[in-house]
Amino acid sequence: MLLAREDVLMTDEEHLNHDKLVVLMMTQSEPEANIVRGILEGAGIHCALLTQILHNVYPFTVDGLATIQIRVLDSQLEAAQALLRDYESNAEIGIDEGSDDNVES
């Protein structure tokens, strides 16, 4: 689900900690944004997807209007960046940790 209001995305505890959401990355692809969200949430990193328009209503991009911002808590930014770097480097060299294809018999 994509939300357009940042104040809706933060829990009361996060408001109390004054830990703001910062932009981790931007993409024009909703599937890519959802994959990144899954990677982050799987590692326990809270994130939010923000866009100016709903992709279900307007499934196209005009001058960056459909850009999706993936935001994380400021305190988790470095961990999120490292996680995505590791994920991208494993994807580039074809490592699939859940597959037995890379194991010789």
pLDDT band at 34 (very low <50, low <70, confident <90, very high): very high
The half-sphere exposure of 34 on its side-chain side, counting CA atoms within 13 A, is 6
- List pLDDT tens digits, range 84-95: 999 988 876 665
Strand 21-27: give its sheet, edge to edge.
21-27, 68-73, 47-50
The residue ranges of every structural domain in the chain are 6-92
In the chain, the N- to C-terminal Cα span, in Å, equals 43
Cβ neighbours of 54 (radius 10 Å): 14
CATH superfamily entry for domain 6-92: UreE, C-terminal domain (3.30.70.790)
- pTM (whole model) above 0.85: no
